[in-house]
Structure 1
Amino acid sequence: MDAITPSWQIRRLGIQPYSPVWDAQERHTAERGDNDGRDELWLLQHMPVYTLGQTGKPEHVLLPGAIPIIRCNRGGQVTYHGPGQIVAYPLVNIRRLGIGVRELVTRIEQALIDTLAHWDIVAERRSGAPGVYVGAAKIAALGLRVKHGCSLHGLAFNIAMDLAPFHGINPCGYAGLEVTQMVELNPAAGLDQVEPILVAQLSQQLGLTPVWTDALPPAFLPET
């Protein structure tokens, strides 16, 4: 009998503020055991926000204006989230998948590279600078954390957004780093078109079967 490929729940959360989604990730991770099969992928867009990772230095926030700044526990430096950017949070048990954090990063990057290739966009990774680049410009950022063998946080993929807020920071801690997005490279690639391809590529890289659901994750619902 063929082995059954493990699955993960794919959930669309719409446009959300940052902190409640972070809190929900923490609850989801805290409530699952070592062998809990509740691997999930949360897809959303965030309201405008700058986030500083664990190694984030405040001096890399140059001109935040009215955009809030939140320090969080993901890896990495400072980045910007806003509408028109796909944020994907793979909440997976990497112990069960048999991979480490570095391998998880590599597989997420490859999923992004293969998604871009679907639209004939050549992208690459850079040694020592997690994320995905098209030429000299960054198109996707990564920031992860692992607790009890399970991953939190994830990737931010620029699709069709206002890039101006990136000028208010040194993106990912690099002064003068250029930032780009899908709509500038292939106008046919909108958010609704990119999302299912990205999900398929992430699922392939992680060896998980996507199961789409309209239900909100239990950890996202108000506690009773």
Structure 2
Amino acid sequence: MQTYQAMHDFTLNRNALTTDEIWLVEHPPVFTQGKVGKPEHLLTKTNIPVVQTDRGGQITYHAPGQQIMYILLDIKRRKIGIREVVNYLENCVIQTLAHYNIEAYAKTEAPGVYIDNKKICSLGLHIKHGCTLHGLALNINMDLTPFNNINPCGYAGLQMTQLKDYVASIDRQEIKQLLTDFFISQLPNR
């Protein structure tokens, strides 16, 4: 909740000259429910807290070993739409995975990034005063078991996967740098 509040404070206190930021964080084990999330997608109650958020999408799971990338962009100033931002997020993950020779793809009807019909990255955004909050969650090296207690992103039977299932050696700093660089490289300089 501390990062959630900091993200909102940052957005509320921005002005036309505030530099956009990217925050790279990890969260303790938590289920987060999007603003339109349906409670029936939590299949089994556990001791993992469920937190209501203002991002889009349904329920997902966050935990150590998952790379969260929050993007705090003034999309009004940059003159880009929300669909473009979603594409940029998906593309930066696809390019990062391609660096490891992993073929990944996005689905228009179900935002996120997939490998062999398994989801490796979830997305959720919120727009406030023409600025984005929230971002993506890329599964790197974590316990995926809690995903069995939910319909991930509202999809019954959706299997989740993670980078460690495809890559023997993982350099977290390299992943952070790749995600950031690939995301920034797509942004228009307006």
Q: Shorter-chain TM-score category?
A: over 0.9
Match of 2:70 among 89, 113, 128: 89
| SS class of match (2:89) | helix
Report what 1:25 is aligned to.
7
Q: Which consecutive residues of structure 1, in runs of 5 or more, have no partner in the other structure?
A: 1-18, 209-224
- What TM-score do the two structures reach when normalised by structure 1? 0.82
Task: List gaps (5 residues or longer) in structure 2.
Answer: none
Matches within 5 A, 1:164-183: 164-183=145-164
Residue 180 of structure 1: SS of its match in structure 2?
A: coil
Q: Aligned partners of 1:101 and 1:137: how far apart in 2?
A: 24
Classify the secondary structure of the residue corresponding to 1:46. coil
Shift, 1:64, TM fit: 3.3
Distance 1:42 1:22 in 2: 11
Distance 2:99 2:125 in 1: 25
Cα separation, partners in 2 of 1:187 and 1:64, compared to 1, 3 Å: farther
Aligned residues: percent identity? 46
Distance, in Å, in 2 between the alignment partners of 1:196 and 1:78 is 27
* Counterpart pick for 1:56 among 37, 43, 50: 37
How many Å separate the matches in 2 of 1:50 and 1:201?
Answer: 28
Deviations 1:104-132, CA, capped at 9 Å, x for gaps: 10111111111110000000011211100
Describe the SS at the equivalent of 1:32.
Answer: coil
* Map 1:28-107 → 2, pairs under 5 A: 28-33=10-15, 35-107=16-88
Query: Which of residues 83, 86, 90 in structure 2 aligns to 1:109?
Result: 90
The structure with the largest alpha-carbon Rg is 1
Deviation at 1:192, TM superposition (A): 2.8
Per the normalisation by structure 2, the TM-score is 0.96
Of the three residues 89, 112, 123, the one matched with 1:131 is 112
Please list, as runs of the form range in 1=range in 2, the aligned pairs for 1:128-167 lying within 5 A after superposition. 128-167=109-148
- Aligned residue identity for 1:155: L
Structure (1 or 2) with the greater strand fraction: 1
Distance (whole Å) between structure 1 residues aligned to residue 169 and residue 48 of structure 2 = 30
Distance 2:45 2:137 in 1: 19
- What residue identity is the alignment partner of 2:91? Q
Query: Alignment RMSD, CA only?
Result: 1.1
Q: How many residues in Structure 1 have an aligned counterpart in Structure 2? A: 189
1:25 corresponds to which letter in structure 2?
M
Task: Tell me the amino acid that sits aligned with residue 128 of structure 1.
Answer: E
Instruction: Write out the 4+ residue segments of structure 1 that deviate beyond 3 Å after TM superposition.
Output: none
Q: Work out whether residues 50 and 67 of structure 1, in 8 Å CA contact, stay in contact via their aligned partners in 2.
A: yes
**TM-aligned CA deviation for residue 158 of structure 1:** 0.3
The 10-residue stretch of structure 1 (135-144 or 58-67) with the greater mean CA deviation from structure 2:
58-67
Which residue does 2:184 correspond to in 1?
203
